[in-house]
Structure 1
Amino acid sequence: MDNIAALNAFVVTAETRSFVRAGEALGVSASAVGKTIVRLEKRLGVRLFHRNTRSIAITAEGAMFLERCRRIFGELEAAEQELSQSIAAPRGRLRVSLPLAGMLFMPTITKFMQAFPEVTIDLDFTDRLVDVIEEGFDAVVRTGEISDSRLMMRSLGRFSHRIVGSAEYFARFGTPEKPQDLSAHICLHHKYPSSGKLERWPLRHDGKSGKLDLPISSMASTLEPLISMAEAGLGVACLPLFTVGQQIAEGRLVSVLADHVEDAGEFRILWPSSRQLSPKIQALVRFMAENLFRS
C-alpha cells in the first residue's frame, strides 16, 4: 500500500506540476509530497523531476514511468469497477472542462447535479486546448474536430447559428435582406481568446460560401456580453441558436438572414480512452446528450 501511495503521489505531482497542488489534492503537505518523491527516486535510482525554486518539470525517465503508472491505476480502477458495476451508482468527484460559453450550459449542469447528488462537480471554464490526460480531467466538452487518439468521444448534439439584433435596432437601422447588407450595420464579433482572431460569420452570399468582410464595431471573448449588447440595441451578432433561443422566443431578439446561415456546429464530450467509462461519466454523457439541446 505504501508503494501504491507513492506512485499516486508521483502521478498527481506529474499532472499538477506542483508539490503544493499535489499536496492539496492528496490532503497532505507539499513537504510530505516532496519527501515521498525523493524516496521513490532513491528506490528507483532515477530522477523523476527537474526542480528549481519556481517550478518542477518531469524528466524523460519520469514521463516513461508516468505512462506505466497510469496503466497500473487504470487496471486497478477497472478491476474495482468490474466488481461493483452491477450495484454502482454515479458518485464521486467529476472534473469537467467546458468552453467559456459553458456558462450557458449551467441549466443542464444544474439539473444533472440535482439528479445525481452524490456526484461532486468540479468545473473549469476555458477556451484553450486543454490536455485532458496531463491536466487530470475526467471529461471535456468542446466543438470542432478532435484528433487526439488517446481520447474517446461522443457527440452531444449539433447546433446552428443565428444573426440577431433587437426589434428596436432593426427599426432604427433597417432589416438586412441579404448578407451584403450587413456592411451598413453595427456588427458585434466574438473573438477567440486563445488566438485573438475573430470568429467567421457562417454566411452564404452570392450563391457561395466564403469570408464576408464585415464592420468590426465591438468584440468580446465570451458570448454573454454579445447577447447583452444585442438585446440593448447596440448592434447585430452571430450567435449559436442554443444561446439565444429563449430571447428569440420571447421577442427580446429578432433573427434575420436565417436562409443565408449555412453551418452547424457540434459539441462533443471527450474522456481518456485508458479509463473505463465509469458510472459518473456514463451519467454525465447520457444526461448532456439527452438534455443539452432540448427545446
Structure 2
Amino acid sequence: MDKLQAMEIFVKVVDAGGFTRAADSMQLPKATVSTLIRNLEAGLSVKLLNRTTRQISLTADGAAYYERCLRILADVRDAEESLSKTHASPSGRLRVDVPTGLGRPLIIPALPAFFERYPEIDMELGCSDRPVDLIEEGVDCAVRVGSLPDSTLIARRIGTVHSVICAAPSYTARHGRPQHPQDLMQHRCVNYFSAKTGKLFDWDFAKDGERFQFRLPGRIAINDSDAYTAAALAGMGVAQLASFMICPYLQSGQLEILLEDWRVDPMPMHVVYPQNRHLSAKVRVFVEWISELFADHPALQLHAAYCPKAEEASAASSLALQSVAESRA
C-alpha cells in the first residue's frame, strides 16, 4: 500500500465528510477509497473513522492521525516544490468562488492578464452570492464581501466596498425622492436576503454622528446581486448598490443617487482559504494577484460623490489592469 496516497485519501475523506464526495473529488471509485481506508486502519491496528449509514466522524486516534497527516503531506509538498519549478511556474486546477457582483464586472475582465502570467493554471470559477463551504465543496479559495463569521478559514483583507442608495428615475417620478433615511419607511425598497440563512439584511445610514439601522419595507427581496441590480433598474424600488456597480447606470441615466449626504457603512472584502492546509503555489499566486488587482482598481475607489464619465472610467480601468499586468511580468 502506498502510505502517502492512503494518507491523502484519508485526509480527503475527512475534509469531504464522506466516502462518496471524496471519491468524486478524486475521480476514484468509492470502493477503492473504502478499501484503502480499511487497509490503512488494518496496517495501523486502530480504528480511524466511526461509520454510520449517513455520516462519518473521527475517532480519538483518527483525529490525532489526521493532524499528523496534514503536517506530513505539507512537508512533502514543500520538499517537492523546493526541488522543482512549481513555485515559479504554478500549475494545475485552481477552484475559486467569487460573488457575482465582483466576478462579472471586475475579476473576469482582468483574468487574461492572470493566465498570461500563469499559463499552466486551469481555473474553475464559481460566481454566485451563495457562501460555499470551501472544505466540503473542494474550493481552494474564495472572495467574500462583508464581515466574516467565526470560522476556521484564513482571511486576507484585499479591499473595501462602498455602497450608495439609488433608484431608477421611473421610480422617483412616481414616488418622489426621500430626504431622510426615515422617509424610506414610506417607500418601496428592494431588499436583499442571505442565501444561507434567508434573513433580510438591515439598511444602515450615517451622517455627522447621527446613525440609523433598520429593516425597510419592500415587495421583493433578492439574494443575487445581478438580479438585485435588475430590480432597481426596473423601477421596483429604492436599492442599496455597490458604487462600482452603479457607476455605468449613473452615466447612462438609468439610476440616480438618493440621500447623497448619508453614508452607508463600507464593507470589507477578503480572500479566504482553509487553514491547516499547505498554501499551494497556485493559490498563493492567485491571492497575491487579486490583492494587487483590488488595491489599485479605480472602480473600488468610487464613492457616492463621484462617478467619472464613461470614457474616463474606461481609460482608468484599462490603465489599472495594464499596471497590474506589468507589475507581475
Partner of 2:188: 186
2:303 maps to: none
CA distance, structure 2, for counterparts of residue 167 and residue 147 of structure 1: 37
Deviation at residue 266 of structure 1 after TM alignment: 1.2
- Is the alpha carbon distance of 1:123 and 1:231 closer, same or farther for their aligned partners in structure 2, counting shifts above 3 Å? same
CA drift of 1:112 comes to: 5.6
Compared CA separation, residues 91 and 223, structure 1 to 2 (3 A): same
Question: Are 1:45 and 2:49 an aligned pair?
Answer: no
1:244 alignment partner AA: I
Aligned partner of 2:197 among 176, 195, 220:
195
Match of 1:107?
108
Find the counterpart in structure 2 of residue 294 from structure 1: 298
Structure 2 CA distance, aligned partners of 1:126 and 1:223?
7
SS in 2 for 1:158: strand
**What secondary structure sits across from 1:33 in the alignment?**
helix
**Is the contact made by 1:91 and 1:280 (CA closer than 8 Å) also made in structure 2?**
yes
| 1:46-195 map, 5 Å | 46-84=46-84, 88-99=88-99, 101=101, 103-104=103-104, 106-108=107-109, 110-111=111-112, 114-115=115-116, 116-124=118-126, 125=128, 127-128=130-131, 130=133, 132=134, 136-146=138-148, 151-195=153-197
Asked which structure has the greater RCO (Cα within 8 Å, sep 6+), the reply is 1
Q: Measure how far apart 1:160 and its partner are.
A: 0.8
Unmatched 5+ stretches in structure 1: none
Q: Which residue of 1 aligns with 2:30?
A: 30
**Structure 1 residue 70: Cα displacement:** 0.8
Query: Quick one: distance in 2 between partners of 1:163 and 1:133?
Result: 36
- Listed as ranges, the gaps of 5+ residues in structure 2 are 300-329
**Aligned position for 1:280:** 282
Offset from partner CA, 1:91-128 (integer Å, 9 cap, x none): 21212233465554552564466433421223444544
Distance 1:286 1:44 in 2: 41
Q: Would you say 1:256 and 2:258 are equivalent positions?
A: yes
Change (3 A) 1:208 1:270: same
SS where residue 298 of structure 2 aligns? coil
Change (3 A) 1:223 1:13: same
Distance 1:208 1:276, change over 3 A: same
Give 2:165's aligned amino acid. I
Question: How far did residue 233 of structure 1 move?
Answer: 1.1
- 1:129 Cα shift? 6.8
Distance 1:213 1:16, change over 3 A: closer
For residue 190 of structure 1, report the CA deviation from its aligned partner.
Answer: 0.4
Q: Give the drift of 1:227.
A: 0.7
Structure 1 distance, partners of 2:99, 2:196, is 11
Return the alpha-carbon distance in structure 1 between the equivalents of residues 187 and 112 of structure 2: 39
Shift of 1:264: 0.9
Letter in 1 for 2:28: V
Deviates more, 1:36-45 or 1:198-207: 198-207
How many Å separate the matches in 1 of 2:64 and 2:241? 44
For residue 63 of structure 1, report the CA deviation from its aligned partner: 2.1
Contact between 2:164 and 2:240, CA under 8 Å: does it hold in 1?
yes
Deviation of the 1:183 alpha carbon: 2.2
- Rounded Cα–Cα distance in structure 1 between residues aligned with 2:78 and 2:289: 23
What's the TM-score once normalised by structure 2's chain length? 0.78
The sequence identity of aligned pairs, in percent, is: 33
